[in-house]
Amino acid sequence: MDFNFTNLTNKPSAGETRQVKVLILGSGPAGFAAALYAARADLAPVVLTGMSLGGQVSLTHTVENYPGFPTGVGGQELVDLFQKQAERFGARVEFDTAVEVDLSQRPFRIKTYNAEYLAETLIITTGATPIHLGVPGENEFTGRGVSYCATCDGWFFKDKDVVVVGGGDSSLEESLFLTRYAKSVTIVHRRDALRAGAILQKRAMAEPKIKIIWDTVVTEVLGDAAVKALRINNLKTGSEQDFPTDGLFIFIGHHPNTELFEGKLEMDGRGYLHTDVTMHTSVPGVFVAGEAGDPNNSQVITSAGMGAAAAMQAIRFIEEHAAQE
């Protein structure tokens, strides 16, 4: 299913300043869940989609672990449903991107390519981007054999051979998960030792479906309609070969999309925004939901739950400050 662009708008016109009670940056599950809850509170939230409507889930062929869809649902279709539900209650979706923020005082000032917003509250749901290998063929075969989420796509590789790139905890966790479906899982790691925790290493080493190719990197993804092989290079010997495989899963980390808030909000060394149990950031009235503040989960359901929680806290924040005025 195609995205619903019917109600997307580039309004207000350039140079116009618009006041909103709740401004949401990002249009993935966290963003639309926040929009739904804020809209049902009659706060007329505005969602700025960012450069990619739907976030990472829109790249997933089928989502099979979101409640309510026993036969699965397409990633794009699910985002479209999220959007329609939020708009039904009065959320407004703007195809626009924040380029500058001033969080020094309320209302917060957010500039976009097309306008400027003064927001009583701000919910950041800008997500995180999987770190890519940056090799030829990777982008071309994303969704056709190249994946960054074993939980999302592992089932599609039932009884097939797959390769996993990475040597950390997430790489081994996802490799072990893939053994539920795949005929074989080959971990390609650029070093001669894994960085994952000892327990995960023991589990991986004991799993008969898993083997490891050490001191090796993937230099190209090969295929036609789908992935057929990987060109790999041994860093110690310099030898190169084409390694047949049906799929490539890349787990070398995520990068949160939080550059816009550097120096304005507290974040850890990796760029994940600091948040408390109420989804508040270091600035009162600014909330974060989803992977922009959560380095541990990369699931639609967790992001949506955080988005709902952030909106509920934003509603409380607005009510409390209205009572004080």
- Residues belonging to the active site: 149, 152-153
CA–CA distances in Å: residue 315 to residues 51, 93, 117, 139, 148: 27, 19, 18, 40, 34
Question: What 3-state DSSP class applies to 304?
Answer: helix
Which residue in 107, 10, 106, 86 sits closest to 44, CA to CA? 86
Those residues whose C-beta lies under 8 Å from the C-beta of residue 65, and which sit 6 or more positions away, are 151, 152, 299, 300, 301
Half-sphere exposure of 241 (CA within 13 A, CB side): 9
Judge contact between 228 and 247, C-beta under 8 A.
no
Q: How far apart are CA 298 and CA 277, in angstroms?
A: 18
Tallying the residues shown for the chain, one arrives at 325
Tokens for 161, please give them: 């051979």
